[in-house]
Amino acid sequence: MLKGFQNILVKELKELVRDPKILLGMIFVPLIMFPVLGAIMSFAMQSAQEQAEKATLLVVNNDGGNWSEFFIGILSYSVKVSVVNNETAEKALDLLSDYNATQFVEIPSGFSENMTEHIHNPNATACVNFYGVFSGGGMFESISSSLIDNLVYAFNRVVAPDAVHTEKSAIIHGSIERGVDPAVLSGLMISQAIAMPITIMILVSYSMQIAATSVAMEKEEKTLETLLSLPVDRFAILMGKLSGSILVAAVGALTCMIGLNFYVGSFSAIIPADTSLDLVSLGLAPSLFGYLLLGISLFVTLLSALALAVIMSAFAEDVRGAQSLVGFIYPLIFIPSLLLMYLDVNSLPFALRIFLYAIPYCHPLIAAKAVTMGDYLTAVWGIVYVTAFTFVIMYAASRLFATEKILTAKLRFKWLRRRKRKSAE
Amino acid sequence: MNSAIEATNVVKVFGSIHALDGLNFTVKPGEIFGLIGPNGAGKTTALRVVSTLLLPTAGAVKVFGLDVVHKAGEVRKVIAYLPEEAGAYRNLSGWEYLGFMAKFNTKNKGEIHDVVREAAEISGLGERLNDRAKTYSKGMKRRLLVARALMTKPKVAILDEPTSGLDVLHSYHVRGIIKRYVKEQGVSVLLSSHNMLEVEHLCDRVALLNEGVIVAEGKPQELKRKFESENLEEVFAKVVGLA
């Protein structure tokens, strides 16, 4: 054993464990965060599964033969089926909302004929056409597409292997894109679904650290005292600090996006070579206006996060304290980001939806999905809300800088001290 | 103007702690006035109130007739405050730091240049001003900061423990800067220190502060005579009943 090692180790542990900020930030927060993350993951998967199973599957029967009736019967075992007869795919599209469905299967005429042919000639196969609405919701959006695969597989198991195959098409912005498999599309969109939340998580948390460290460093080095005693507008000090942090954060965002682009690009090899999907031509990449809204949303969110970090760091005595305090905000950034990575906000229970909308850091994520799907209003409302929130925080920050509180404010963990005192007694 | 600083019945309360409990003192123009006392006596709080950083709970402080609460902006134009054990921006060079600070007092490029040159001379740091502040020793940093406080020729310089933690040579240099500058520019200085021997040599008048109130005030020689003591340390001990 190293001489003195045990003594130093015990001292280190005492110092670290007795610091309430470390205790809360590094032990309690992760202890709560991981079970919450686990719950989110299982909730996300379950709700996507349930939604896919509960959803009505509209079946357009243009065949009318025995085999189509049998096929519908097999589908009915697993999902709720509504049947309409002799309609075009375009007409069926209009009927989706009437049946509260987001997908339909068309059994084309000649289906029964082809099935009968298959009995004699295994090379002949029948085909059904699947059409699924693509909403850009989340990572589990491909579940509905895989559901039809499972149903056709179940039918083939009963009848004959490879008797029926599926032709898939996606319904994007209310029109049918033939030959575009929603699952492949979803795979392509996953790059966005992952990239945006990760970028925003890194960007917001990193910017908050920069801002908090910047103020705490000034307090620790007492340069803030010097600045406050100078003939300078105190709001200018605040804005100068925030703007500096934003500029550094913007550079960070840029490098982060470039890095992520390479990362996501490495997954394109997974996409089948014969699928020539172009998200821009399908209207699934944000327009210039969409990018503008997304940029504004990200900017106001960053501003609010930075202002909050400045306020929080004002309550810390040193850099370590400021970083620990800012750490308390991280669950509010990470958990919703992960949640929105897997789920569409509109598919969540009302209370959870309101909770997410109330967290400003969710709005760039919500805006990213919304502008991709051409829903600009949601993005605009998010910007309005976050801007209002930012104004409140900025006002609080400016009030803090205008008074002596910026030097004297300290966050005291009275309850922890009381407990310690009691246990000492 | 009869007084550079006039503090009247100043009270400052933090929660249940009375940091200042009816502080009264006057600093005359061109004078070095020392607030001396042990740690926790209220020296830094008093200096922060005069510097407009803290608001007095009661009482009033005026700097050349300007109230530190109602005319805080005007007061900041005529003072320079040096906090105790303050640092400089670690990644700025000495020149950059002085230039940054000078720009708060004037926008004129020529004036900024002159002010920074003046500060460079006061600091005596020479070529080291090209280096980043993080490479400076404690003494060099303090010389830079004292130079910063005096470079704009403020009417009142408020210096909190200007030589605290410095070795003999750097303390000697910093004291020399303050004394010489006051003589040359007619600056009024309010400084605090718990080093009573040092203050004895530097200050024209001193006030002994204990538990937020002034317990004795006068010229060092007068106080020593009055309390039949050899130095201010002894005077303080007698005043607070330790000796």
Of B54, B76, B87, the CB nearest to A230: B76
**DSSP secondary structure string, B61-97?**
EEETTEETTTTHHHHHHHEEEE-TT----TTSBHHHH
pLDDT for B207 equals: 93
Give yes or no for A414 touching B (CB within 8 A). Answer: no
Which of A180, A198, A230 represents a domain boundary (last residue)? Answer: A180
- Kindly state whether residues A100 and A174 are assigned to the same domain: yes
Query: How far apart are the two ends of chain B, measured CA to CA in Å?
Result: 40
- Kindly state whether residues A77 and A170 are assigned to the same domain: yes
Which of A230, A232, A248 should we substitute to test contact with B (largest number of B Cβ atoms within 10 Å)? A230
- Kindly state whether residues A233 and A354 are assigned to the same domain: yes
Query: How far apart are the two ends of chain A, measured CA to CA in Å?
Result: 36
Distance from CA of B219 to the nearest CA of A (A): 29
Burial A243-275 (b: 16+ CB within 10 A, else e): eebbeebeebbeebeeebeeeeeeeeeeeeeee
Of B14, B73, B85, the CB nearest to A408: B14
Distance CA A200, CA A140 (A): 21
- Kindly state whether residues A100 and A238 are assigned to the same domain: no
CATH architecture of B5-85+157-239: 3-Layer(aba) Sandwich (3.40)
- Kindly state whether residues A196 and A125 are assigned to the same domain: no
Chain-centroid distance, C-alpha B89: 20
- Is residue A39 assigned to a domain? no
- Is residue A9 assigned to a domain? no
Containing domain of residue A353, as a range?
190-424
Radius of gyration for chain B, computed over Cα atoms and rounded to the nearest angstrom? 18
- Kindly state whether residues A198 and A165 are assigned to the same domain: no
- Kindly state whether residues A151 and A194 are assigned to the same domain: no
- Kindly state whether residues A96 and A194 are assigned to the same domain: no
Residues of chain A in contact with residue B77, where contact means CB-CB under 8 angstroms, are 231
Q: Using CB atoms within 10 A of its CB, is residue A38 exposed (0-12), middle (13-18) or buried (19+)? A: exposed
At B55 the three-state DSSP class reads coil
Distance CA A390, CA A303 (A): 7
Which of A146, A180, A214 represents a domain boundary (last residue)? Answer: A180
Q: Do A229 and B53 make contact, defined as CB atoms within 8 angstroms?
A: yes
Partnered with residue A165 across adjacent β-strands are A127
- Asked if B114 and B126 count as a contact pair (C-beta separation under 8 A), the reply is no
User: What tokens does A324 get?
Assistant: 């620990």
At A56 the three-state DSSP class reads strand
Which of A225, A403, A410 should we substitute to test contact with B (largest number of B Cβ atoms within 10 Å)? A225
Long-range contacts of B64-69 (CB under 8 A, 24+ apart): B64/B1, B64/B4, B64/B155, B64/B156, B65/B1
Q: Do A225 and B53 make contact, defined as CB atoms within 8 angstroms?
A: yes
Which of A180, A205, A230 represents a domain boundary (last residue)? Answer: A180
B residues 89-118 lying closer than 8 A (beta carbon) to A = 89-90, 101, 104-105
The tens digit of pLDDT for each residue in B43-102 reads 999 999 999 999 999 999 999 999 999 999 999 999 999 998 888 888 899 999 999 999
pLDDT in tens, chain A (425 residues): 677 788 888 888 887 777 766 666 667 767 777 787 777 777 767 776 676 667 788 888 998 888 889 988 888 887 888 888 888 888 888 888 888 788 888 898 888 898 888 888 888 888 888 888 876 655 556 666 677 888 888 888 888 888 888 888 888 777 888 777 777 777 666 666 677 777 778 888 888 888 888 888 888 888 888 999 999 888 888 888 888 877 776 776 667 666 666 665 555 555 555 555 566 666 666 677 888 888 888 888 888 888 888 888 888 878 888 888 888 888 888 888 877 777 777 777 788 888 889 999 888 888 888 887 778 899 999 999 999 998 898 888 888 888 888 888 765 555 445 555 555 44
Residues of chain A in contact with residue B87, where contact means CB-CB under 8 angstroms, are 220-223
Angle at A62 between CA A61 and CA A67, to 5 degrees: 65
- The number of domains in chain A is 2
Query: In this structure, are strands A101-107 and A126-133 parallel, antiparallel, or unpaired?
Result: antiparallel
Give yes or no for B79 touching A (CB within 8 A). Answer: yes
- Kindly state whether residues A173 and A204 are assigned to the same domain: no
- Kindly state whether residues A206 and A350 are assigned to the same domain: yes
Give yes or no for A229 touching B (CB within 8 A). Answer: yes
pLDDT for B184 equals: 85
- Kindly state whether residues A174 and A200 are assigned to the same domain: no
Q: Using CB atoms within 10 A of its CB, is residue B15 exposed (0-12), middle (13-18) or buried (19+)? A: exposed
User: What tokens does B29 get?
Assistant: 């123009």
Partnered with residue A59 across adjacent β-strands are A83, A105
Domain of A85: which CATH number?
3.40.1710.10
Q: Do A226 and B84 make contact, defined as CB atoms within 8 angstroms?
A: no
Kindly list the domain boundaries of chain B, sorted by start residue.
5-85+157-239
- Kindly state whether residues A207 and A148 are assigned to the same domain: no
Distance CA A244, CA A247 (A): 5
